Structure 1
Amino acid sequence: MTSIGKIIVMGDYGVGKTSIAKRLVGEGFTQFYNRTIGVDFKIKRFPISFRDQEIPVKWVIWDLAGDWTFNNITSDFFKGAKAGMFIYDIPRPDTLESLWLWANRLKKEFKDPIPVILVGNKRDWRGRADTCVPKETAKQYAQKLKDLLHANFDIPYVETSARENENISKAFTMLIDLYKEVEGSSLSA
């Protein structure tokens, strides 16, 4: 029997959430930007090894609208999530700072924090834009998110490029590994 897991992808509009989700499921990259309204879904079958078993899991990736105009629409979409990705745009520092709003929303929706990772997208802009968020700053921000969420796990940080298809699978694998770590510790308690 296949289990179903829900992953929510959060961040401002234009940071590459949809492009990352599309790359993850093998749909490729598109140059044209179409704003997500409400939510978009992608499905990725990815088994997890858990307690010496291989468990088939169908991960439903919920790409939440990044425009706060749709704030009320996305409220219900948090329910039932098993894990999440905070995504920001490396050359746009304001998109990192606005993740604070998303983290507060996540905190409001879940009594116990769900496993999340911090993803800096558009790493291919490093060296081409003066405004790029330094890696160390992003790692420090991950610690601030951990503190805000009262997480009993570290929030990993990874940089991706949806355009170049760099580290997309790595980000997903990091999230699933964190999910197994957090879920495993709660099951053995």
Structure 2
Amino acid sequence: MSNDFNQKMDYIFKVVLVGDSAVGKSQLLSRFAKNEFSVDSKATIGVEFQTKTLVIDQKMIKAQIWDTAGQERYRAVTSAYYRGALGAMLVYDMTKRQTFDHMSRWLEELRGHADKNIVIMLIGNKSDLASLRAVPVEDAQEFAERENLCFMETSALEATNVENAFLTALTDIYKIQSKKSLSADGINGKSTSLKGTAIIVPNQEANSGGKGGCC
């Protein structure tokens, strides 16, 4: 929204997009934040981010979505941006098996730098290229279940499941944080609002998801 600056935010959630180069992370971000898709998209250099304001349970939420470069030479730079992230999208290209095989490495790096209770979603992008599929849904579901991740397949080109994936992750973060706030209010007998600040996610129950569905 153009008037984000003048709006009073109840929460600010930082989410990072992680995965190999050319899997469509920038396109997913552009589709979610601006409902745009560029056929001439270039590789991200370092880190870029966009914001989107939305309402969850009558609360104003500003999502700060960070798009990290997938090239090896930027890894030392981008890993620093994992800190403070409340959610992460692990993105692979479902037409390129190698990008999926690298998910374990990306997940390990993410868990090594981010909060241990971060909400993580596995995203198989480019579902519009079904005839070129190189990663069976079952393989992705098995990996997601084993690592306690949510899972969805998306198409930034056709806008399939993109908003659903982001909203699912952001709603999970909000639910966890709102429960934490209510618990603190009950203990202290007063408001413990964390408006306008980054939220540290408390312990989360492990969840797994399937194609088109999640936590």
Q: For the superposition of Structure 1 and Structure 2, which TM-score range results when normalised by the shorter chain?
A: 0.7 to 0.9
Unaligned 5+ runs, structure 1: 147-154
Kept after mapping to 1: 8 A contact 2:24/2:156: yes
Q: Distance in 1 between matches of 2:115 and 2:27?
A: 30
- Partner residue, 2:187: none
Residues 185 and 97 of structure 1, relative CA distance in 2, 3 Å threshold: farther
State the one-letter code of the partner of 1:36. T
| Structure 1 residue 47 corresponds to structure 2 residue 55 | yes
Aligned to 1:102: 106
- Is 1:169 paired with 2:169? no
Q: Contact 1:103 / 1:145 at 8 angstroms: preserved in 2? A: no
Could you tell me how far apart the structure 2 residues matched to 1:137 and 1:6 are?
Answer: 28
Provide the C-alpha distance between the structure 2 equivalents of 1:157 and 1:185, rounded to a whole number of angstroms.
Answer: 24
Query: How far does residue 180 in structure 1 lie from its aligned partner after superposition?
Result: 3.0
Residue by residue over 1:34-76, the C-alpha shift from the partner in whole angstroms, topping out at 9 and shown as x without a partner, is 1101111111101222xxxx22111110001111210111121
> Is residue 180 of structure 1 aligned with residue 174 of structure 2?
yes
- C-alpha change, 1:95 and 1:185, in structure 2 (3 Å) is farther
Tell me the TM-score normalized by structure 2: 0.76
Aligned length: 175
Q: Which 5+ residue runs of structure 2 have no aligned equivalent?
A: 1-7, 184-202, 204-215
Q: 4+ residue stretches of structure 1 with deviation over 4 A?
A: 184-189
Pairing 1:143-154 to 2, within 5 Å after superposition: 143-146=145-148
Instruction: Output the amino acid matched with 2:45.
Output: I
Three-state SS of the structure 2 residue aligned to 1:47 is strand
1:149 paired residue number: none
Which structure has the larger Rg?
A: 2
Alignment of 1:65 with 2:69, yes or no, is yes
- Post-superposition shift, 1:27? 4.6
Q: 1:157 to 1:182 in 2, by over 3 A?
A: same
Alignment pair present for 1:160 and 2:154: yes
Counterpart position of 1:115: 119
TM-score (ref. length: structure 1) = 0.85
Q: Which of 105-114 and 61-70 deviates more? A: 105-114
Give the alignment's Cα RMSD to 1 decimal.
Answer: 1.8
> Identity over the aligned pairs, expressed in percent?
30
